[in-house]
């Protein structure tokens, strides 16, 4: 019995030392710079850069099992160590394309904030919030893939202009859900 208890404590202590990767929160007046991309470039891939971004959500559940909306915090993040570029091939247009990926994550963070505010949580809040998050995350990933497909990973200037407008409009549409 002692060994099993010690083993569990050791596992818990080990998990507490796991380092969270560096992340940058989305800010309207703080666009990405090439110096934010700290990952190693993959020269086997055909594209010049990649942005790794996503959403995080923290919340509290009250004693009745209902999500406390006032504690809900949804953030869009950029992960520098998982994002990279090929220095010899960079352009301002490619950096704008990568910023658009980060902006798409922010749009979906705002959509999730909206869904949380509008949802009537019950004692099944953990399942309900997971469902809302999963739906929004699926939409975010789909939009990221569609953006790259339609722009040809930044090669189509016409599609880049179309998407720039679409992203700007969506950021404005959901501005009230900015933290």
Q: Which residue has the tokens 């909306």?
A: 69
DSSP string, 21-57: PP-EE--TT----GGG--SPP-TTSSSSEE--EEEEE
Percent pLDDT > 90 in the chain is 87
- Comparing CA positions, the residue from 153, 144, 130, 115 lying closest to residue 54 is 144
| Phi, psi for residue 93 in degrees, rounded to 5 | -65, -40
- Comparing CA positions, the residue from 94, 74, 76, 75 lying closest to residue 84 is 94
pLDDT in tens, 94-122: 999 999 999 999 999 999 999 999 999 99
pTM over the 0.85 mark: yes
Rounded to the nearest integer, the mean pLDDT of the chain is 91
pLDDT in tens, 27-69: 999 999 999 999 999 999 988 999 999 999 999 999 999 999 9
- Within 10 A of 9 (CB to CB), how many other CB atoms are there? 10
């Amino acid at each position: 019995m002692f060994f099993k208890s010690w083993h569990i404590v050791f596992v818990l202590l080990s998990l507490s030392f796991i380092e969270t990767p560096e992340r940058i929160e989305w800010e309207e007046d703080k666009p990405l710079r090439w110096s934010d991309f700290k990952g190693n470039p993959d020269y086997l891939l055909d594209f010049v850069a990649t942005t790794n971004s996503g959403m995080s959500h923290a919340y509290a559940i009250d004693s009745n099992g209902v999500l406390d909306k006032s504690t809900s915090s949804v953030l869009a993040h950029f992960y520098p160590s998982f994002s990279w570029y090929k220095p010899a091939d960079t352009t301002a247009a490619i950096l704008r394309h990568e910023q658009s990926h980060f902006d798409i994550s922010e749009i979906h963070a705002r959509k999730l904030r909206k869904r949380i505010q509008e949802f009537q949580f019950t004692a099944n809040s953990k399942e309900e919030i997971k469902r809302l998050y999963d739906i929004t995350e699926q939409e975010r990933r789909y939009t990221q893939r569609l953006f790259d497909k339609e722009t040809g990973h930044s090669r189509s200037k016409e599609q880049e202009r179309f998407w720039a407008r679409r992203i700007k409009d969506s950021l404005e549409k959901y501005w009230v859900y900015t933290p």
